[in-house]
Chain A
Amino acid sequence: MEQKRTKKEYVEWTQKIAPKTHKFKNMILAFIVGGIICTIGQVILSLLLKTGMIKEDAASLTTLLMIFFGAFLTGINVYDDISRVGGAGAAIPVTGFANSIVSPAMEYKKEGYVMGVGAKMFLIAGPVLVYGIVASIIAGILYYIFTMRA
């Protein structure tokens, strides 16, 4: 078959006529879902502070609880439905991070606890951890340099 387009022209043409993502709708939904998750976190934090807990402990416990909720909702097959609607609004909070670790752990349990759960658990979260840690090292060095100057 003779192609009337170059590869580049073909890819550009197909992308132009491809069904489009509803960017505006997705942004609004991400804002709402992400907002709800963060509001729940804030409510928990405020309640804990009311019990007289010091701020650092209350913040840590809030994060722990949010991770638990993310993992629990993944385990009962609900979190992926929240993400389908919320997109980045459900992926960015710590609940989304919990989802990214629990979901492969569930999926690869059939391959055993060592090569399945153990090896595949960080399939999605791995890069986040690697580059998160690298970024924190860079931030630490910068902090050290600037505080030395001061």
Chain B
Amino acid sequence: MGTRLGKQTLRLDSHPVIQAWASIAGAKEGNGPLGRYFDEVIQDEYFGEKSFEKAESKLLRETLAKILMKGKVSAGDIQYIFAGDLLNQCIAASYGIRESEIPFFGLYGACSTMGEALILGSLMVEGGFAERTVCITSSHFCSAEKQFRFPLEFGNQRPPMSQWTVTGSGGVLVGNTGDGPKIVHVTTGKIVDMGVTDANDMGAAMAPAACDTITAHFTETGLAYDYYDIVITGDLGIHGKNICKQLLEENGILIQGILEDCGTMIYDTEAQKTYCGGSGCACSAIVLAGYLLDKLSKKELKRILLVCTGALHSPSSIQQGESIPAIAHAVGIEMIS
């Protein structure tokens, strides 16, 4: 049974294992620097479906199928699935898994959903309530643009601090046995709102939340600043990462050398014209399930702290002049035998 280390952090003493993982990415992500790490790259943004929403559900459904296949389990062996996405009422997740018959918790943490799912999924295993859980998220550039911004073919210029929603789906199978990477610490984020009202500037909105969670993680665990090989935030982008670096330094958390961001890694931001980088629920999910877990299983990385960041606004709240509440959830994943 886990141990509470502080207000936000738990240590999972049974070390829930990430037994299998899978990722599917869109064409743009496939052409990016991490392209070769994804299990599948789809060229057609409709993925053979009639709408972007249906395509996103299929992304999640196919990723789930790959996870089960790679973990050599069937849907009946999974006690819980924690899934979420960016669409209204989380339809990508609920339609994506509606035939699976796995007990389901639908999550909304905006782009932090993968972190939220990982925490809850590993706690279920730690608590002994499940032998295996699946944690999975998706996002789709076209469905996100439609819901949060403008129609695709509408001609507008993106501001330089804007980010590009990742098309894809990534997920993991968490279980109580095995040799895979293990979830050792989880730090649940709390909402931090520093008054940013510009929905194009999500990096600035989310950076204080990431800083808050990372600070809480190191303070409550007492771990050394060089304990992790990499502390990787979800989708702060270039601008947000710069802010976060400075905020951490001001807090005395000296991890500047190992701080990375999934959003800045997933695209070649200059050549692919993605401005400040990637965002979306799939951003941290496919970087984790594609790149990071691959590196961990090959022992090229030994310990990582994944800090999934989310901006919890809606188009309505922005139009009403509200500022953006942000959150970040941290999961410490380690290769220990």
Query: A and B: real partners?
Result: yes
Min CB distance B107 to A, Å, is 24
Among the listed stretches B57-65, B85-93, B193-201, B226-234, which one makes contact with chain A, having 4 or more residues with CB under 8 Å of it? B193-201
Given contacts A1-B216, A10-B194, A19-B160, contact A80 B153 (CB under 8 A): yes
Does B243 lie within 8 Å of A83, measured CB to CB? no
Chain A residues bordering chain B, tally (CB within 8 A) = 40
Min CB distance B276 to A, Å, is 7
Cβ-closest chain A residue relative to B160: A19
Among the listed stretches B20-28, B67-75, B131-139, B207-215, which one makes contact with chain A, having 4 or more residues with CB under 8 Å of it? B207-215
**Could you say which of B146, B151, B208 contacts A10, with CB atoms under 8 Å apart?**
B208
Among B215, B238, B250, B275, chain A packs the most CB atoms within 10 A around the CB of B250
Does B50 lie within 8 Å of A110, measured CB to CB? yes
Given contacts A18-B160, A84-B155, contact A8 B208 (CB under 8 A): no
Does B154 lie within 8 Å of A3, measured CB to CB? no
Q: Is B76 an interface residue (CB 8 A)?
A: no
Does B152 lie within 8 Å of A87, measured CB to CB? no
Q: Is A53 an interface residue (CB 8 A)?
A: no
- Provide the main secondary structure of the chain A interface: helix
Chain B residues within an 8 Å CB radius of A11: 194-197, 204
Does A83 lie within 8 Å of B156, measured CB to CB? yes
Min CB distance B188 to A, Å, is 14
Q: Is A147 an interface residue (CB 8 A)?
A: no
A-B pairs with lowest CB-CB distance, top 5: A83-B155, A7-B195, A107-B151, A14-B204, A103-B153
A-B contact pairs, 10 of them (CB 8 A): A1-B211, A14-B207, A14-B243, A17-B242, A21-B159, A26-B157, A80-B153, A102-B153, A106-B153, A110-B51
